[in-house]
Amino acid sequence: MSEDAQELWSGLGLIGPLEARLSGPLPARVGGVSIDTRTLAPGDLFVAIRGDTHDGHDYVKAAFDKGAAAAVIEERRADDLRGAGPLYVVRDALRALEGLGMAARARSAARIVAVTGSVGKTSTKETLRTVFAAFGPTHASVASYNNHWGVPLTLARLPRAAEFGVFEIGMNHPGEITPLVAMVKPHLAVVTAIAPVHLEHMGSLEAIVDAKAEIFSGVARGGAAVIPRDAPLFERLAEAAARSPIGHVVSFGEHEQADARLESCTPDGEGSLIHARILGQPIVYRLGAPGRHMAVNSLAVLVAARATGCPLSEAAAALAQAKPAKGRGARETLTVEGAPATLIDEAYNANPASMRAALALLGDTTPGAGGRRIAAIGDMLELGPDGAQMHAELAEALEAAQVDLLFAAGPLSRHLFDAAPEEMRAQWAASAAELEAPLAAALRGGDVVMIKGSNGSRMGPIVAALQRRFGAAAQGEG
Ligand SMILES: Nc1ncnc2c1ncn2[C@@H]1O[C@H](COP(=O)(O)OP(=O)(O)OP(=O)(O)O)[C@@H](O)[C@H]1O
Ligand SMILES: [Mg+2]
């Protein structure tokens, strides 16, 4: 740990929350908490969690080599790891991490927001981080750390001095949100959107709404809920919020009856100029991230900021600093045969809702001279038995976005390719890897190319390949 590293936990203070016995020396203090030696920083507490493929106990020695201050290990491995360094020995390392997370929550005076929803959790969480950071020290989840280990890990890292905490909470199955939100105990719950995601596990849209509504169960009495007015089955969600102990429910969206309502959203290059009405109060602001979906998300952010005591006008001003994240609409200028082209990286994930949003974004982007709108689309996974049809139905969105060329990869996207107008169909390939060369060969200066698919469809490597070939780094080499 570097000299000036802040103390997150004292060595002694860890024993109680972890319910551990000590083996070896007591560390003076730890500066952070890690479950992955690849990202561990010197001075961190390494918690040896057992995942699907790896057991953290096999990395305890590596953790100490990288400068871990101490490790949390399970009794079953206490003998063979004895002497490796300061060890907190527990029965179950994940339970111990939860204990630490709950202790961090209990000692925190921060205003806490939990974010769930079918899409837009990370985008909204990052926008909340940007806004809250303008008002005080803010702690938020890394990436999408939203599951049974990501949530307690993020809690365990909550610094004493944080004034705001933003936690992403996700789920693939009913019942998963309840225990997570019980740990987070937010003052405010945000549901970003409801969409047919993980339908394979969830069965129906009703089941999805009910699962998201679990988030209300953990909100402190007198807290607030921020819910999407445009969601299918909105009434069901609103009723669930009303049945919970939450005192205050605010809706946001484009719907006439939304409490926070988007009145207009005009693209201005990298972002949008937004006119909105937040609980009756008209407001105009600039959002640094493009897309109507991001504009809608920003309403939830403003409501949350206002409900946690941040003045609305200052919160809105901070939204100019918001940026789309990698894989979620981040833009980059490529150079193709000496002329600029635009790459929109949406490769992080995809479902019908986010695909429509991304296509709308492509439609809002005007190509340069001689350029075309190009959509490169990989399969949307985990959609259940209607997956093929949900792909084919996107043909309309392609037309609405005035897409000139469609490149598609994967068996499900084949259904979209076949449903698309003849003149739009550029190339279909069985896999993303096979789509890379034809797409790269087709690119011209002036083009806008948007790349999107579920993470498992491997569209990300296409983005990386185009960046290597046409990105700033490639130009520098020349
Ligand atoms: N309100 C929205 N409606 C539709 N699409 C959205 C919305 N907000 C964000 N998106 C898009 O959805 C995709 C996923 O966004 P994001 O990573 O924020 O979602 P997430 O809910 O955190 O996903 P995950 O469940 O994988 O953690 C991105 O392409 C993003 O641009
Ligand atoms: Mg996420």
Show the tokens assigned to 304: 């949350």
Ligand 1 in reach of 127 Cβ (< 6 A): no
Residue 203 has pLDDT above 60, yes or no: yes
Show the tokens assigned to 219: 């909100």
Residue 359 sits in the same domain as residue 469: yes
Q: Which of 151, 255, 243 is nearest to 193 (CA)?
A: 255
Show the tokens assigned to 278: 């937040």
Phi (first) and psi of residue 336, to 5 degrees? -115, 115
What dihedral do alpha carbons 32, 36, 42, 48 form, nearest 10°? 80
Mean pLDDT of the chain: 95
Please name the residue that has the structure tokens 């049809």. Answer: 389
Residue of higher predicted confidence among 25 and 4:
25
Beta strands in 402-472 (DSSP E): 405-409, 425-429, 448-452
Q: How far is CA 103 from CA 17, 51, 380, 401, in A?
A: 6, 23, 39, 49
- Among 321, 346, 374, which residue terminates a domain? 321
Which domain does 127 fall in, by range? 108-321
Residue 132 has pLDDT above 60, yes or no: yes
Cβ-proximal residues to 260 (8 Å cutoff; 6+ apart), any chain: 250, 251, 252, 253, 276, 277, 278, 279, 299, 300, 302, 303
What dihedral do alpha carbons 168, 171, 174, 175 form, nearest 10°? -50
Ligand 1 in reach of 351 Cβ (< 6 A): no
Domain membership of residue 225 (yes or no) is yes
The predicted structure's pLDDT at residue 2: 40
Residue 440 sits in the same domain as residue 367: yes
273-300 pLDDT, tens digit per residue, is 999 999 999 999 999 999 999 999 999 9
Domain membership of residue 370 (yes or no) is yes
165-198 pLDDT, tens digit per residue, is 999 999 999 999 999 999 999 999 999 999 988 7
The predicted structure's pLDDT at residue 472: 84
Domain membership of residue 191 (yes or no) is yes
Residue 347 sits in the same domain as residue 317: no
306-326 pLDDT, tens digit per residue, is 999 999 999 999 999 999 888
| Under 8 Å between Cβ of 62 and 87 | no
Number of domains in the chain: 3
Q: Give me the count of residues in the chain.
A: 478
Of the listed ligands, the closest to the CA of 349 is 1
| Under 8 Å between Cβ of 226 and 303 | yes
The predicted structure's pLDDT at residue 201: 85
Mutate to test the pocket of ligand 1, among 119, 191, 215, 459 (most ligand atoms within 8 A of CB): 119
Mutate to test the pocket of ligand 1, among 115, 116, 122 (most ligand atoms within 8 A of CB): 122
Residue 67 sits in the same domain as residue 138: no
Residue 224 sits in the same domain as residue 373: no
Residue 348 has pLDDT above 60, yes or no: yes
Residue 432 has pLDDT above 80, yes or no: yes
Ligand 1 in reach of 353 Cβ (< 6 A): yes
Q: How far is CA 85 from CA 6, 25, 92, 290, 425, in A?
A: 21, 7, 19, 49, 60
- The rounded distance, in Å, linking the Cα atoms of 188 and 94 is 26
232-262 pLDDT, tens digit per residue, is 999 999 999 999 989 899 999 999 999 999 9
The predicted structure's pLDDT at residue 325: 81
Task: Identify the residue whose C-alpha is closest to ligand 1 atom 3.
Answer: 293
Residue 471 has pLDDT above 80, yes or no: yes
Ligand 1 in reach of 81 Cβ (< 6 A): no
| Under 8 Å between Cβ of 250 and 226 | yes
- The rounded distance, in Å, linking the Cα atoms of 459 and 343 is 13
Ligand 1 in reach of 327 Cβ (< 6 A): no
CATH number of the domain that residue 369 is part of? 3.90.190.20
Q: How far is the CA of 210 from the centre of ligand 2 (A)?
A: 19
Q: How far is the CA of 337 from the centre of ligand 1 (A)?
A: 33
Domain membership of residue 98 (yes or no) is no
Domain membership of residue 56 (yes or no) is yes
The predicted structure's pLDDT at residue 198: 79
- Among 301, 321, 341, which residue terminates a domain? 321
Please state, as a whole number, how many other Cβ atoms lie within 10 Å of the Cβ of residue 425.
16
Residue 256 sits in the same domain as residue 373: no
Residue 5 has pLDDT above 70, yes or no: no
Residue 157 sits in the same domain as residue 231: yes
Domain membership of residue 226 (yes or no) is yes
Residue 445 has pLDDT above 80, yes or no: yes
Residue 347 sits in the same domain as residue 428: yes
Domain membership of residue 99 (yes or no) is no
The predicted structure's pLDDT at residue 476: 61
Residue 4 has pLDDT above 70, yes or no: no
Q: Which of 352, 344, 335, 416 is nearest to 373 (CA)?
A: 344
Q: How far is the CA of 121 from the centre of ligand 1 (A)?
A: 6
Task: Identify the residue whose C-alpha is closest to ligand 1 atom 13.
Answer: 354
Residue 309 sits in the same domain as residue 406: no
Residue 478 has pLDDT above 50, yes or no: no
Residue 347 sits in the same domain as residue 219: no
Domain membership of residue 1 (yes or no) is no
Q: Cα 211 to chain center, whole Å?
A: 18
Phi (first) and psi of residue 46, to 5 degrees? -95, 125
CATH number of the domain that residue 56 is part of? 3.40.1390.10
| Under 8 Å between Cβ of 465 and 436 | yes
Residue 440 has pLDDT above 80, yes or no: yes
Residue 442 has pLDDT above 90, yes or no: yes
Task: Identify the residue whose C-alpha is closest to ligand 1 atom 7.
Answer: 120
Residue 334 sits in the same domain as residue 456: yes
Burial (Cβ within 10 Å: 0-12, 13-18, ≥19) of residue 281: exposed
DSSP of 145-184? --STTHHHHHHHT--TT-SEEEEE---SSTTSHHHHHHHH
| Under 8 Å between Cβ of 292 and 353 | no
Q: Which residues surround ligand 2, an ion (CB under 5 A)?
A: 121-122, 144
Ligand 1 in reach of 128 Cβ (< 6 A): no
Residue 62 sits in the same domain as residue 157: no
